[in-house]
């Protein structure tokens, strides 16, 4: 692939910084790299391949001459600038929720539905981080046994809410251990030593059906990525005091019989998946081990005795890497 002009929108954020690492580590053929962010970040410097690059304020003119845009600056920014970039000839890979369910926009996980990339009209969407980790593991099983139903509970790290959320978790933990009061700004309840069954900071995140926006995303995104509207998905999304790495307890019901042994065999040869499943050695995926790794890890694969053709799985992936930056760069590589 010939070198490309690449622009990162939201370069100073957690995912933006991860974009830089992934582009460098995977030796992506970058001709020129432009870093853009909000006005308050203008003038900051960042390193890429030994060079110091200065962050520019994002403007409509920022996309002139750019070929690939990696966006992760919030859905509001994407709604304002994604199609401006596309009209300027810059193909956008957007990491926000702005365009995921737009019929014009492919929603892509390269290990799952790479052919969808070809249908883009200038914008390609990166799925939700919790959805990515799950579908990478489920797609190979779906291809062999057809998944009818998924019941998933996520255990999502605080980094999914941004760098300030990580800082709040750390500082609140220190305050609780010291017996001091802490005034939180990000989470609706104490996150230190606690689990919050709500992703999103406001009560408005709950819909009339009682599901949060995050849970609704998992339902619709799974169907779109797997290209199968018949899959029933019932999610509960939980924020936990883990700094990096989303874990998921996943129960599936398949149309065809699928033993745990066969599932391990299928997943062991699947792209983007690593099986860690040896209960005799207490070996199973852990967020602390997965952080910084590309694969989606799976273990605790066992039969569900309450239904025909049911399996339990435990899935863990790095939400900043595969759940965001890496997936977007993989899409860019396929472009």
Question: Which residues are catalytic, by number?
Answer: 129, 246
Measured CA to CA, the distance from residue 150 to residue 189 in angstroms comes to 28
Measured CA to CA, the distance from residue 315 to residue 134 in angstroms comes to 7
Helices (H), 113-212: 129-145, 163-177
Helix H, strand E, coil C: the string for 56-110 is EECCHHHHCCCCEEEECCCHHHHHHHHHHHHHCCCEEEECCCCCCCCCCCCECCC
Three-state secondary structure call for residue 190: coil
Measured CA to CA, the distance from residue 36 to residue 55 in angstroms comes to 5
DSSP 235-274: EEEEE-S-SS-EEEEEEEEESS---HHHHHHHHHTSTTEE
């Amino acid at each position: 692939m010939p070198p490309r002009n690449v622009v990162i929108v939201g370069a100073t954020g957690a995912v933006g910084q991860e974009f830089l690492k992934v582009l460098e580590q995977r030796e992506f053929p970058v001709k020129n790299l432009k870093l853009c962010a909000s006005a308050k970040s203008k003038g900051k410097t960042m390193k890429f391949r030994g060079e110091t690059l200065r962050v520019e304020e994002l403007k409509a003119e920022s996309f002139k001459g750019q070929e690939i845009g990696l966006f992760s600056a919030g859905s509001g920014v994407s709604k304002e600038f994604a199609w401006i970039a596309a009209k300027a000839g810059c193909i956008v890979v957007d990491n926000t929720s702005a365009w995921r369910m737009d019929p014009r926009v492919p929603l892509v996980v390269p290990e799952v539905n790479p052919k969808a990339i070809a249908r883009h009209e200038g914008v390609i969407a990166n799925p939700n981080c919790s959805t990515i980790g799950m579908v990478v593991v489920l797609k190979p099983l779906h291809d062999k046994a057809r998944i009818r139903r998924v019941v998933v509970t996520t255990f999502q790290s605080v980094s999914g809410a941004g760098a300030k959320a990580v800082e709040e978790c750390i500082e609140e933990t220190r305050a609780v251990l010291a017996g001091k009061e802490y005034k939180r700004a990000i989470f609706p309840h104490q996150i230190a030593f606690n689990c919050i069954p709500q992703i999103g900071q406001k009560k408005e995140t709950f819909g009339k059906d009682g599901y949060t926006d995050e849970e609704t995303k998992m339902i619709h995104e799974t169907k779109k990525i797997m290209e199968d509207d018949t899959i029933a998905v019932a999610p509960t999304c939980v924020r936990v005091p883990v700094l990096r790495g989303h874990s998921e307890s996943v129960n599936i019901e398949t149309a065809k019989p699928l033993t745990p042994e066969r599932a391990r065999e299928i997943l062991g040869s699947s792209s983007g998946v690593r099986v860690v499943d040896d209960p005799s050695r207490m070996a199973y995926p852990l967020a602390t081990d997965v952080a910084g790794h590309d694969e989606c890890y799976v273990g605790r694969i066992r039969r569900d005795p309450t239904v025909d053709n049911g399996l339990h799985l435990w899935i863990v992936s790095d939400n900043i890497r595969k759940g965001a930056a890496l997936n977007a760069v993989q899409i860019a590589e396929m472009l």
